[in-house]
A = this chain, B = another copy of it.
Amino acid sequence: MRAASSPEEIRKSNLAVLLRHVHRDGPVSRATLAERMGLNRSTILALTADLAAAGLIREELPGQTGRAGRPSLVVRPESDRIYVVALDVGADRLAAARVGLGGSVLDQIETDRPRGTFDPDDVISTLAAMARGMIDKAARDGVCVGVGVAFCGMVREEDGVVRYGPNIGWVDVPFGASLTRELDLDLRVAVGNNANLGALAERERGVGAGLSDLIYLHGDVGIGGGIIMGGQLLGGEGGYAGEVGHMIVNRDGRACACGSRGCLEAEAGELGLIAAAGRTDPAGRAAVEAIVEAAARGDSTARDALHQVGDWLGYGVANLVNIFNPSMVVFGGVLREIYLASAAQVRSRVAVDGLLAVRERVKLRTSALGGDATLIGAAELAFTDVLTDPVQTLARISAGRR
């Protein structure tokens, strides 16, 4: 319940707020910043001067505006110089991107991997090699200000320990610390749950832009949930909230990797769909796409399977709508394809089982960022330090490089 702030704290906070505006919204005039932040122009001038001196932004004359009078300078993020490395560990692929301040993807690579148990050391050395390759390709005056990883399981955020990665067989792996050591960049690698990061990405740069109450469902082998309520990511006591894939919807249902039966991900996820369609293909996006295409061609087994899976997905979504009263539910990862092919069932379940006051306003949408949502979320996570205390963070990193 502290209320008072020192002038230095206020300045630090204003620098961070200004940089966040520029990072999220792109080039913006000083006049607009003054208006959005409720500060006068001379304060804005002092703040942009500090950020420019640190090399985080630059100021330019705008193009022709056709208006009379002295134009307000436009503030741009130094996207080519200030960047982060984002990594994504999915159940069947590893991906990496170099993302500039302002959110532009400067470089991106990925490697498919066979399903099953991933050896942590192997994953860590592969990710480190991918990251180093990208950093080596960056301009010589570039500054990597953070590394963020999206992981397909339960992560303890404060130290990056993977508590549980059911679909790749990890329990209590000190992933963040090992990757920090292996990369040796003088930067702590931040690790987050992939669905949480996907939710942040869709809220910052995707279909949920500006929404305060949003549920992002990410389909991989399992179903993860990232839940934003009142503008904040739902963490719970230990930061593990959002495991909606393990909401039991069918007491007598299919066995789940977690040891229970009838979990939402067992009934409505990739494995549930493949089983319902009576297929024996190896699990993965290709198998889901094959079923969706077969249904589109009129294959009745595939259609029935999608109908059944859509019904279970609908129960899950109706439950979440009743519990959370979100303004939007976003389907991402492979759940995007499953939802698109079974939207009628999902919507009809929500219409029947959602309470009027909550179902009347909720929008069901597919991810705008597609397969990149979790990776873009990892980049946002990596930008956290520089967006919290821009000047100090950059000074610390520069001192480390000398």
Determine if B322 and A163 form an interchain contact, defined as CB atoms under 8 angstroms apart: no
User: Does A272 make an interface contact (CB < 8 A)?
Assistant: no
Determine if B225 and A323 form an interchain contact, defined as CB atoms under 8 angstroms apart: yes
Q: Which of B10, B237, B249 interacts with A248 by CB under 8 Å?
A: B249
User: Does A258 make an interface contact (CB < 8 A)?
Assistant: yes
Chain B residues with CB under 8 Å of A20's CB are: 1
**Chain B residue at minimal CB-CB distance from A318:** B248
Among residues 281 to 329 in chain A, which have CB atoms less than 8 Å away from a CB atom of chain B? Answer: 315, 318-319, 322-327
Chain B residues with CB under 8 Å of A27's CB are: none
Chain B residues with CB under 8 Å of A39's CB are: 3-4
Among residues 220 to 273 in chain A, which have CB atoms less than 8 Å away from a CB atom of chain B? Answer: 225, 227, 229-230, 232, 234-244, 246-251, 258-260
Chain B residues with CB under 8 Å of A36's CB are: 1
**Chain B residue at minimal CB-CB distance from A212:** B237
User: Does A17 make an interface contact (CB < 8 A)?
Assistant: yes
User: Does A129 make an interface contact (CB < 8 A)?
Assistant: no
Chain B residues with CB under 8 Å of A202's CB are: none
Known interface pairs A251-B250, A260-B352, A323-B244. Does A238 touch B357 (Cβ–Cβ under 8 Å)?
yes
Determine if A248 and B315 form an interchain contact, defined as CB atoms under 8 angstroms apart: yes
User: Does A37 make an interface contact (CB < 8 A)?
Assistant: yes
Number of residues of chain A lying within 8 A (CB) of chain B: 63
User: Does A21 make an interface contact (CB < 8 A)?
Assistant: yes
Determine if B164 and A356 form an interchain contact, defined as CB atoms under 8 angstroms apart: yes
Determine if A14 and B10 form an interchain contact, defined as CB atoms under 8 angstroms apart: no
Among residues 1 to 46 in chain A, which have CB atoms less than 8 Å away from a CB atom of chain B? Answer: 1-5, 10, 13-14, 17, 20-21, 36-39
Determine if A243 and B1 form an interchain contact, defined as CB atoms under 8 angstroms apart: no
User: Does A154 make an interface contact (CB < 8 A)?
Assistant: yes
CA distance A240 to B327 in the complex (A): 11
Determine if B319 and A241 form an interchain contact, defined as CB atoms under 8 angstroms apart: no
User: Does A49 make an interface contact (CB < 8 A)?
Assistant: no
Q: Which of B229, B259, B355, B362 interacts with A229 by CB under 8 Å?
A: B229
**Chain B residue at minimal CB-CB distance from A244:** B323
Distance from A227 Cβ to chain B, minimum over Cβ atoms (Å) = 8
Chain B residues with CB under 8 Å of A238's CB are: 325, 357-358, 361
CA distance A258 to B356 in the complex (A): 10
Chain B residues with CB under 8 Å of A50's CB are: none
Determine if A258 and B355 form an interchain contact, defined as CB atoms under 8 angstroms apart: yes
Determine if B1 and A37 form an interchain contact, defined as CB atoms under 8 angstroms apart: yes
Chain B residues with CB under 8 Å of A352's CB are: 259-260
CA distance A325 to B242 in the complex (A): 8
Q: Which of B38, B234, B241, B358 interacts with A243 by CB under 8 Å?
A: B358
User: Does A88 make an interface contact (CB < 8 A)?
Assistant: no
User: Does A337 make an interface contact (CB < 8 A)?
Assistant: no
Determine if B154 and A357 form an interchain contact, defined as CB atoms under 8 angstroms apart: yes
Determine if A236 and B325 form an interchain contact, defined as CB atoms under 8 angstroms apart: yes
Determine if B355 and A246 form an interchain contact, defined as CB atoms under 8 angstroms apart: yes
Determine if B323 and A37 form an interchain contact, defined as CB atoms under 8 angstroms apart: no
CA distance A241 to B248 in the complex (A): 20
Determine if A236 and B1 form an interchain contact, defined as CB atoms under 8 angstroms apart: no
Residues of A within 8 A of B (CB): 1-5, 10, 13-14, 17, 20-21, 36-39, 154, 156, 163-164, 212-213, 225, 227, 229-230, 232, 234-244, 246-251, 258-260, 315, 318-319, 322-327, 352-353, 355-358, 361-362
Show 22 A/B contacts (Cβ-Cβ < 8 Å), sorted by A: A2-B38, A3-B17, A3-B37, A3-B39, A4-B10, A163-B356, A212-B237, A213-B237, A227-B323, A229-B235, A236-B324, A236-B327, A237-B327, A240-B358, A241-B358, A243-B358, A246-B319, A246-B322, A247-B319, A258-B355, A259-B352, A260-B353
